[in-house]
């Protein structure tokens, strides 16, 4: 299959929407990361997403809608709190797990009786959902296990020859996947995956916001998890990632002992001037770190890095999402000083 690269002109968006309507898989830009989209009701198209990514069949796909009011078509009940959250955060990087109806096939939900619903704000993604008239199932557009793509070029690298087309909608704004929540009660939600909609932001609407323990800790083999994605090796480049939670002086003493061919560091902007090692920076605050993390992990692979020592982000606000992705990229290898 020849993968065509489309742009954000109305003509090309119509082509992308037609491809999706006709059961093809298309790489799509969103404000979080790029996704691999298909008609969520078309089982063969959804299976083709799993095949293109090499994704385990029990890892559910998020279904993307043009407006939250469409959620009633695909779910059996929607709590009042979900509507309040939608008013505040949709369109945007928030996925709500709700009980699904028969219009969402089991392949799409990874065998679960729930479905993650999101209303993306990216104008290209929004327009393609409208033009196709389909609820679009879309996981991140990377090969399973590899860092998520934040540009059309990343998607082309991973998916060339595996999908019908990729739409270039520029670099993803947030750079980390959506916040995924489930409903514990009428006034309480649980964060299953942290993202740009933070615990503090959710507390503006909910009485109680629980952070699932699997976000910061390794899930034991065979354990049942609320969010299947948590069990899998994730976000990992080819290079071995080691996260170092310390000040910059202690970070340097760790790297010093291990520094040899193929060793790189991923540091903050303020460190660069005093960093004597091969290095890259991923910004100075959590928002920039989210925006740049996956891109830097891919760039480090291109440089041929074998081992990368990374300064740990502060797990506050959107930083919790960055921390959560990095600790998984590192396979939970953390040095704390
Ligand atoms: P990705 O599409 O690659 O961003 O991954 C989506 C992630 O969202 C999955 O790996 C799950 O962890 C989570 N997710 C999606 N749908 C559900 C659901 N119905 N219940 C719980 N978690 C979900
Ligand atoms: Mg993913």
Taking all residues of the chain, what is their mean pLDDT, rounded to a whole number?
96
Token couple for 42: 């078309």
Prediction pTM value:
0.97
Q: Which ligand is nearest to the CA of 138?
A: 1
**What pLDDT does 228 receive?**
80
Cite the residue boundaries of each domain of the chain with CATH code 3.90.870.10.
4-215
Q: From the CB of residue 83, how many other CB atoms can be counted at a distance below 10 Å?
A: 13
Dihedral sign for Cα atoms in the order 131, 77, 55, 220: positive
**What pLDDT does 221 receive?**
77
Q: Which DSSP symbol is given to 268?
A: -
| pLDDT tens track for 195-235 | 999 999 999 999 999 999 999 888 887 777 788 877 776 88
Q: How far is the CA of 194 from the centre of ligand 2 (A)?
A: 13
| pLDDT tens track for 268-309 | 999 999 999 999 999 999 999 999 999 999 999 999 999 999
CATH architecture of residue range(s) 240-336? 3-Layer(aba) Sandwich (3.40)
Cite the residue boundaries of each domain of the chain with CATH code 3.40.50.11030.
240-336
- Map tokens 């928002």 to a residue: 287
Helices (H) and strands (E) in the chain, counts: 9, 16
| pLDDT tens track for 49-83 | 999 999 999 999 999 999 999 999 999 999 999 99
Question: Strands, DSSP E only, in 42-113?
Answer: 62-64, 94-99
Q: Which residues surround ligand 2, an ion (CB under 5 A)?
A: 140
240 forms beta bridges with 307
The C-alpha atoms of residue 137 and residue 52 are separated, in whole angstroms, by 14
Residues of the chain with pLDDT > 70, as a percent, come to 99
| Contact between residue 304 and residue 193 where contact means Cβ atoms under 8 Å apart | no
* Cβ–ligand 1 contact at 42 (below 6 Å): no
| Contact between residue 231 and residue 219 where contact means Cβ atoms under 8 Å apart | yes
Q: From the CB of residue 272, how many other CB atoms can be counted at a distance below 10 Å?
A: 12
Nearest CA to ligand 1 atom 21: 227
Element (H, E) at 132: helix 123-132
**Domain 4-215 CATH class label:** alpha beta
Q: Pick the atom of ligand 1 nearest to 178's CA.
A: 4
């Amino acid at each position: 299959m020849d993968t065509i690269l489309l742009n954000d002109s109305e003509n090309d968006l119509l082509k992308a929407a037609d491809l999706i309507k006709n059961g093809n898989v298309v790489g799509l830009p969103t404000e979080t990361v790029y996704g691999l989209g298909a008609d969520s009701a078309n089982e063969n198209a959804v299976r083709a997403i799993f095949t293109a990514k090499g994704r385990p069949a029990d890892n559910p796909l998020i279904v993307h809608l043009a407006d939250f009011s469409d959620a009633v078509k695909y779910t059996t009940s929607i709590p009042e709190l979900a509507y309040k959250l939608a008013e505040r955060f949709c369109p945007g990087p928030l996925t709500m797990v709700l009980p699904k109806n028969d219009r969402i096939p089991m392949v799409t939900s990874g065998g679960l009786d729930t479905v993650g619903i999101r209303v993306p704000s990216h104008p290209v993604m929004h327009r393609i959902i409208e033009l196709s008239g389909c609820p679009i199932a879309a996981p991140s557009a990377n090969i399973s296990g590899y860092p998520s793509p934040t540009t059309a070029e990343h998607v082309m690298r991973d998916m060339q020859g595996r999908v019908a087309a990729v739409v270039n909608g520029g670099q993803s704004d947030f750079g980390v996947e959506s916040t995924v929540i489930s409903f514990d009660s009428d006034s309480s939600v649980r964060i299953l995956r942290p993202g740009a909609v933070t615990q503090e932001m959710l507390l503006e609407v909910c009485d109680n916001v629980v952070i699932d323990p699997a976000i910061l800790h390794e899930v034991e083999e065979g354990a049942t998890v609320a969010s299947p994605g948590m069990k899998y090796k994730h976000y990992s480049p080819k290079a071995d990632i080691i996260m170092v939670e310390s000040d910059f002086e202690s970070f340097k003493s760790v790297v010093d002992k291990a520094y040899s061919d193929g060793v790189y560091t991923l540091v903050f902007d303020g460190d660069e001037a005093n960093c004597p090692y091969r290095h890259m920076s991923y910004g100075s605050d959590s928002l920039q770190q989210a925006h740049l993390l996956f891109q830097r992990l891919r760039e480090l692979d291109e440089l041929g890095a074998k081992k990368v020592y990374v300064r740990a982000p502060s797990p506050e606000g959107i930083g919790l999402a960055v921390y959560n992705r990095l600790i998984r990229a590192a396979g939970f290898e953390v040095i704390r000083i």
